[in-house]
């Protein structure tokens, strides 16, 4: 399981890259909107510079900000040209029209990260269309079972057998998608995002996600344990006593 950092904050990206455990960076329009207003291209350019300085060749996903197929293609090609970074993937949301854009870009050799996947079939269709990565939203898949705003839509999907109750278990969704990718020898990698806690990161890896993209706020919790702190303090204390 590879770990990506899921943020557009330059300081958080640099701190993670400097520690060597991060193998990529993912961004999206909502993450960028949390940062001070600036020029989009310049901000992404700064992220590229940080990656080149600290871990050249690490992955970077940058998302289009349109749902219109022609504009998606235009933005994707523009991003690829202006950022001029070999390990760049263009994030495109999953959808019927978007599949055509993914297919066209993949034929041109542009790496696509198909994002906002919630079901196994979404991921497999994106993979078949040519996506290099498929991003499943772990927390939001789980939310689908209980979100009252979408009760009618959920019931309709269950009635039409588009989904069943197991399709709101992110572990099963990711695991089944991984099994189908493996059995058909597809080269697409699964990214698990929408992470809500450290246990989600562990479980996503065990489910078969190739990559988990993690908000920076979880990194210190991932590397911390109260028993580790106890034993380190004991070692230091014992050694100080021995020196006396």
Q: Give the catalytic positions in this structure.
A: 91
Cα–Cα distance between 143 and 225 in angstroms, integer? 28
Contacts of 209 (CB under 8 A, 6+ apart): 1, 136, 174, 178, 190, 191, 192
Q: How many residues does the chain have?
A: 244
Phi/psi-derived region of residue 84, left when phi > 0, alpha when psi is between -120 and 50, beta in every other case: left
Give the dihedral of Cα atoms 128, 123, 56, 35; nearest 10 deg.
130
Per-residue DSSP letter, 109: T
What letters, b where the CB count within 10 A reaches 16 and e where it falls short, cover 136-158?
Answer: bbbebbbbbeeeeeeeeebeebe
How does DSSP classify residue 25?
E
Nearest to 155 by CA among 143, 165, 142: 165
How many whole angstroms separate alpha carbon 228 and alpha carbon 236?
Answer: 12
Query: What is the rounded distance in angstroms from the CA atom of residue 195 to the CA atom of residue 215?
Result: 7
d(CA 205, CA 1): 6
Measured CA angle at 117 (ends 59, 26), to 5 deg: 25
């Amino acid at each position: 399981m590879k770990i990506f950092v899921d943020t557009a904050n330059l300081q958080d990206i640099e701190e993670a890259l400097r520690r060597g455990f991060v193998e990529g960076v993912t961004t999206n329009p909502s993450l960028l909107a949390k940062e001070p207003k600036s020029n989009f291209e310049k901000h992404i350019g700064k992220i590229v510079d940080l990656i080149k300085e600290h871990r050249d060749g690490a992955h970077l996903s940058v998302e289009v900000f349109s749902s219109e197929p022609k504009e998606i293609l235009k933005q994707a090609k523009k991003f690829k040209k202006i950022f001029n970074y070999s390990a760049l993937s263009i994030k495109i949301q999953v959808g019927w029209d978007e599949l055509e854009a993914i297919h066209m870009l993949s034929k041109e050799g542009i790496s696509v990260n198909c994002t906002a996947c919630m079901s196994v079939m979404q991921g497999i269709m994106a993979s078949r269309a040519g996506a290099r990565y498929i991003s499943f939203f772990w927390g939001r898949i789980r939310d689908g079972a209980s979100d009252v705003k979408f009760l009618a839509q959920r019931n309709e999907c269950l009635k039409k057998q588009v989904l069943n109750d197991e399709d709101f278990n992110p572990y099963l969704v990711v695991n089944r998608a991984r099994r189908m990718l493996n059995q058909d020898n597809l080269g697409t990698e699964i990214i698990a995002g929408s992470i809500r806690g450290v246990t989600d990161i562990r479980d996503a890896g065990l489910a078969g996600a190739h990559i988990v993209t993690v908000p920076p706020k979880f990194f210190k919790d991932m590397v911390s344990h109260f028993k580790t702190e106890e034993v380190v303090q004991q070692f230091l204390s014992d050694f100080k006593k021995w020196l006396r």
